[in-house]
C-alpha cells in the first residue's frame, strides 16, 4: 500500500524541475496526479515515464495564470478522478530578462511574474477550496522560495511573488483550518532544475566552476535535487503533518541558517 493510494493530487508547473519530482513522488506512492503545465512535450514525457508507477500522472496543458483555466482544471480533475485531496501550487517563473533594478523592470514583466507565481496560487485555491470543503478537507502545499524571506538585488517581482505566497499561505491556513484544510509552503534553496540552468546560461555562467560556487553557498556543500523538495511536500501533505498548517519549511541545505547568503 502506498501512502497516497486512492488520493488525487494536482501539481502546477509539474512537467519539469521540482514539479516533475513532486508528480513522480506522489505517483510512486499510489496517487493519481494531474500535472498541469504549458510544456506539452515535457508533459508527454512525464506521462510516459510514470507509466509503470503504482499511481499515475495525467498531463493537462494549462496556463494556470488564467482563472477559467484553473476552474476547468479543478472541475475536470474532480469529474475524472472523484475528488481532490492535495493541491501543489508549484508553478513559478523567473524570466532571464527580468534581472534588473526594480525601477527599470517593465510593467508587463512584473505582471507576468506576479500572475504566474502568485495569482495562480490564489486562482487554483479559489476553485479547489470549495471542493475540499465539501469532501471534508484537503491539503494545499505552495512552492515559495527562500527568496520570500531574504533576497538579492535585481529580482523585485520574483521576491515579491514569493513573499506574497508565504503571506497567502498563512492567510488561507487561518481561514480554512476549521474546514480541515491545511495550507503549507516549502522554501527551496537552489535546486537543480531547468530554471537554474536557464539563469546560469543567461549570465554566461553555466560552467562547472559556477555550479561549484552555487554548491558552496549551501552549508551542506551541494545544491538540492527535485526529490529533496518532493519528499518534504509528501510529508507535509500526509497525516503525519496533521498538526501543521500556516507554516513554511525551508528545504535549502542550511542556507537560511547561515544568513546573508545573497
Ligand X SMILES: NC(=O)c1ccc[n+]([C@@H]2O[C@H](COP(=O)([O-])OP(=O)(O)OC[C@H]3O[C@@H](n4cnc5c(N)ncnc54)[C@H](O)[C@@H]3O)[C@@H](O)[C@H]2O)c1
Question: What is the contact surface with ligand X in residues (CB under 6 A)?
Answer: 12-13, 15-19, 36-39, 42, 62-65, 90-93, 116, 143, 145, 188, 190-191, 193-196
CA–CA dist 37, 47 (Å, integer): 12
Beta carbon of residue 179, minimum distance to ligand X (angstroms, whole number):
25
Structural contact between residues 33 and 85, judged by C-beta atoms closer than 8 angstroms = no
Cell numbers found for residue 160: 515579491
Our CB check for ligand X shows the closer of 17 and 138 to be 17
Beta carbon of residue 185, minimum distance to ligand X (angstroms, whole number):
10
Our CB check for ligand X shows the closer of 164 and 188 to be 188
Structural contact between residues 236 and 186, judged by C-beta atoms closer than 8 angstroms = yes
Report the catalytic residues: 158
Beta carbon of residue 39, minimum distance to ligand X (angstroms, whole number):
4
CA–CA dist 208, 117 (Å, integer): 29
Beta strands 86-89; 8-12: pairing state: parallel
Our CB check for ligand X shows the closer of 42 and 234 to be 42
Cell numbers found for residue 151: 533576497
Angle separating helix axes 40-49 and 17-28, nearest 10 degrees:
30
| Nearest partner of 158 among 168, 169, 144, 140, judged by Cα | 144
Our CB check for ligand X shows the closer of 32 and 120 to be 120
Beta carbon of residue 56, minimum distance to ligand X (angstroms, whole number):
18
Amino acid at each position: 500500500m502506498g501512502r497516497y493510494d486512492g488520493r488525487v493530487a494536482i501539481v502546477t508547473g509539474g512537467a519539469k524541475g521540482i514539479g516533475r519530482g513532486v508528480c513522480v513522488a506522489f505517483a510512486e506512492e499510489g496517487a493519481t496526479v494531474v500535472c498541469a503545465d504549458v510544456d506539452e512535450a515535457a508533459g508527454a514525457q512525464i506521462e510516459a515515464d510514470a507509466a509503470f508507477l503504482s499511481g499515475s500522472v495525467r498531463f493537462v496543458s494549462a496556463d494556470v495564470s488564467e482563472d477559467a483555466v484553473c476552474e476547468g482544471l479543478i472541475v475536470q480533475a474532480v469529474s475524472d478522478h472523484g475528488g481532490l485531496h492535495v493541491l501543489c501550487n508549484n508553478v513559478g517563473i523567473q524570466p532571464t530578462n527580468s534581472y534588473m533594478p526594480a525601477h527599470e523592470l517593465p510593467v508587463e514583466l512584473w505582471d507576468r511574474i506576479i500572475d504566474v507565481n502568485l495569482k495562480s496560487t490564489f486562482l487554483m485555491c479559489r476553485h479547489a477550496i470549495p471542493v475540499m470543503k465539501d469532501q471534508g478537507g484537503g491539503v494545499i502545499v505552495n512552492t515559495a522560495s527562500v527568496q520570500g524571506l531574504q533576497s538579492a538585488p535585481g529580482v523585485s517581482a520574483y521576491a515579491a511573488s514569493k513573499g506574497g505566497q508565504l503571506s497567502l499561505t498563512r492567510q488561507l491556513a487561518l481561514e480554512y483550518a476549521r474546514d480541515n484544510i491545511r495550507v503549507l509552503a516549502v522554501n527551496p534553496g537552489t535546486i537543480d532544475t531547468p530554471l537554474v540552468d536557464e539563469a546560469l546560461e543567461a549570465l554566461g555562467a553555466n560552467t562547472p566552476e559556477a555550479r561549484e560556487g552555487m554548491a558552496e553557498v549551501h552549508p551542506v556543500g551541494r545544491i538540492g535535487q527535485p526529490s529533496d523538495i518532493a519528499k518534504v511536500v509528501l510529508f507535509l501533505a500526509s497525516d503525519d503533518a496533521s498538526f501543521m498548517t500556516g507554516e513554511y519549511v525551508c528545504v535549502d541545505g542550511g542556507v537560511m541558517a547561515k544568513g546573508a547568503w545573497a
